[in-house]
Amino acid sequence: MFQDDVTFRLLKFIQENLRPDDMTDDITGTSRLFELGVLDSLRTARLLNFIRDELGATVPPLMIEYRNFQDVVGIAAMVQSLITEAEDGGVRHDS
């Protein structure tokens, strides 16, 4: 799966399932999700379930931290690295 596809699918899920009802702004790849009220603890759990069930990546507990969930672009990069790692048999390619 390509990162653009991951980003698109994440944005679509967030727009359709996690966006607060009173939010008028569009959510973009660089929207600050916590600051906008898009993510909180419950919505983050729903997002993690989507990532696991629909994108095929399990986010390890140590990666569930604010810096990895600030915006969709960052989430997509993390998910893509997890997918790549799984495809490579568990070999991490961190920089």
pLDDT of residue 1: 64
pLDDT, one tens digit for every residue, the chain (95 residues)? 677 899 999 999 999 999 999 999 899 999 999 999 999 999 999 999 999 999 999 999 999 999 999 999 999 999 999 999 988 776 554 54
The model's pTM? 0.88
From the candidate CATH numbers 1.20.1070.10, 1.10.1200.10, 1.10.10.10, 3.40.50.300, the one assigned to the domain spanning 3-18+27-87: 1.10.1200.10
- Residue 55 has a CB neighbour count (10 Å cut-off) of 19
pLDDT of residue 25: 87
Q: How far is CA 83 from CA 21, 26, 44, 49, in A?
A: 32, 28, 19, 15
Boundaries of every domain in the chain = 3-18+27-87
